[in-house]
Amino acid sequence: MATTFTRIIEGELPGRFVWRDDECVAFLSINPLRPGHTLVVPRSEADHWIDLPADANAHLMRVAHEIGAAQMAAFTPARVGLIIAGLEVPHVHLHVVPIQRESDLNFANVDLAPSADSMDTAAAAIRSALRARGAPHVAD
């Protein structure tokens, strides 16, 4: 059975994509810790990041780096946090989160009902910053 993320990747469920390439995608979290909270997800299903080949992990990290740099430009946070937890969906994903303080990474503080406008604005800001950086795989 396909994971929730596979269903998003295949268009069965909606997603606000900011990046698409042959190996992975990046889209906004539906329950963001902070505005711009983005998930970098491999197209291939694997439950645990250590189950992926090293080159796949390296690619995810390169994409997370691009997304994080775009978030710095778009949101001017103090830092961009990176979490690989993987307990909520059994499909590898990297949380890339613009943060002001370490406590911004506490999953108890997710926004359970972000407005569509705030999500669209955040996605557009990340896409714009990616384009400004010359990123090759910005999602439309």
Catalytic positions, written as ranges? 93
Nearest to 99 by CA among 16, 40, 37, 28: 37
Q: Look at strands 24-28 and 38-42 and give their pairing.
A: antiparallel
Q: Give me the DSSP letters along 73-107.
A: HHH--SEEEEE---SSSSS--EEEEEESSGGGG-G
Residue 8, helix vs strand vs coil: helix
